[in-house]
Amino acid sequence: MLTKLPVIAALTAQDIVVASEPTWLQQWRQAAWQHVNEGAAPLWRRTDLTAFALADMEFSATTSTSQLGSAIPDGVVVMPLSQAVREHGDLVKAHLGSAVAFNSSKYAALNAATWRDGWFVYVPKNHEASVPLHLLQGFGASNTLVARNLVVLERGAQLSLIEQYAGDGGPFAVVASELILGDGATLQYTSMQTWGATVHHMGHQVAKVGNDATIVWTAVNTGAAHQHIDAETNLVGNGSRVNWTAATVAGEGQRLLTAPWLRHVGRATEAHMDFKTVVKGSGYATFDGMIKIEGGSTDTVTRLEEHALHLSPQARSDSIPGLKIDTNNVQKAGHASTSGEVDDEQLFYMQARGIPKSDAVHMIVMGFFESVLDRIPLDTLREQVTADIAARI
Amino acid sequence: MELVIKDLHANIGDKEILKGVNLTVTPGTIHAIMGPNGSGKSTLSNTIMGHPAYTVTSGEVWYKGQNVLELPVDERAKLGLFLAFQYPVSIPGVTVANFLRAAVNAHRSVAGKDTRETAIPMAQYRKDIREKMAALGVDDSFARRYLNDGFSGGEKKRIEILQMSMLKPSMAIMDETDSGLDIDALKVVSQGVNTLLTQNPEMGVLVITHYQRLLNYIKPNRVSVMMEGRIVREGGAELALELEERGYDFIREEVFGNAN
Name chain B contacts of A346, Cβ cutoff 8 Å.
89, 91
For A363, the closest chain B residue by CA position comes to: B94
A225 DSSP assignment: S
**Residue A232 CB contacts under 8 Å (≥ 6 apart), including other chains:** A205, A206, A207, A260, A261, A262, A263
- The answer to whether B150 faces chain A, any CB pair under 8 Å, is no
**How far is the C-alpha of A54 from the C-alpha of B33, rounded, in Å?**
72
**How far is the C-alpha of A171 from the C-alpha of A56, rounded, in Å?**
10
**What is the per-residue pLDDT across A179-197, written as a single tens digit (0 to 9) for each?**
999 999 999 999 999 999 9
**How far is the C-alpha of A325 from the C-alpha of A264, rounded, in Å?**
9
CA of B255 to nearest chain A CA: how many angstroms apart?
35
CB A280 within 8 A of CB A252: yes
**Out of B52, B92, B167, whose CB is closest to A353?**
B167
Q: A356–B163: do the CB atoms touch at under 8 Å?
A: no
Picking from A266, A308, A302, the residue whose alpha carbon sits closest to that of residue A285 is: A308
Instruction: Please compute the mean of the pLDDT values over residues A287-295 and round it to a whole number.
Output: 95
Picking from A170, A233, A166, A226, the residue whose alpha carbon sits closest to that of residue A202 is: A226
SS3 of A46, please?
Answer: coil
For B89, the closest chain A residue by CA position comes to: A346
Instruction: Give residues 109 to 148 of B whose Cβ lies within 8 Å of A.
Output: 146
Name chain A contacts of B167, Cβ cutoff 8 Å.
353-354
- Is the pLDDT score of A1 beyond 60? no
Predicted structure pTM score: 0.91
Task: Give Cα separations from B80 to B2, B54, B171 (angstroms).
Answer: 12, 21, 6
Tell me the one-letter amino acid at A308: A
Q: A363–B78: do the CB atoms touch at under 8 Å?
A: no
pLDDT of residue B259: 52
DSSP per residue, chain B: --EEEEEEEEEETTEEEEEEEEEEE-TT-EEEEE--TTSSHHHHHHHHHT-TTEEEEEEEEEETTEEGGGS-HHHHHHTTEEEE-SSPPPEEEEEHHHHHHHHHHHHH--TTS-HHHHSPPHHHHHHHHHHHHHHTT--GGGGGSEETTT--HHHHHHHHHHHHHHH--SEEEEESTTTT--HHHHHHHHHHHHHHHHH-TT-EEEEEESSSGGGGTS--SEEEEEETTEEEEEE-HHHHHHHHHH-SHHHHHHHHTT--
**How far is the C-alpha of A27 from the C-alpha of A23, rounded, in Å?**
6
Cα four-point dihedral sign B68, B209, B170, B105: negative
**What is the per-residue pLDDT across B142-186, written as a single tens digit (0 to 9) for each?**
999 999 999 999 999 999 999 999 999 999 999 998 887 888 888
**What is the per-residue pLDDT across A346-381, written as a single tens digit (0 to 9) for each?**
999 999 999 999 999 999 999 999 999 999 999 999
- The answer to whether A346 faces chain B, any CB pair under 8 Å, is yes
Name chain B contacts of A393, Cβ cutoff 8 Å.
none
- The answer to whether B51 faces chain A, any CB pair under 8 Å, is yes
Q: A370–B93: do the CB atoms touch at under 8 Å?
A: yes
**What is the per-residue pLDDT across B23-76, written as a single tens digit (0 to 9) for each?**
999 999 999 999 998 999 999 999 999 999 999 999 999 999 999 999 999 999
CA of A133 to nearest chain B CA: how many angstroms apart?
27
Q: What is the ipTM of this complex?
A: 0.96
**Residue A35 CB contacts under 8 Å (≥ 6 apart), including other chains:** A102, A103, A106, A109, A113
**How far is the C-alpha of A188 from the C-alpha of A161, rounded, in Å?**
6
Burial of B120 (0-12, 13-18, 19+ CB in 10 A): middle
Q: A348–B51: do the CB atoms touch at under 8 Å?
A: yes
- Is the pLDDT score of A62 beyond 80? no
**What is the per-residue pLDDT across A222-231, written as a single tens digit (0 to 9) for each?**
999 999 999 9
**Out of A343, A345, A353, whose CB is closest to B103?**
A353
Burial of A295 (0-12, 13-18, 19+ CB in 10 A): exposed
- Helices first, then strands: H and E counts in chain A: 8, 20
Count of beta carbons in the 10 Å neighbourhood of residue B236:
11
CA of B89 to nearest chain A CA: how many angstroms apart?
6
CB A321 within 8 A of CB A287: yes
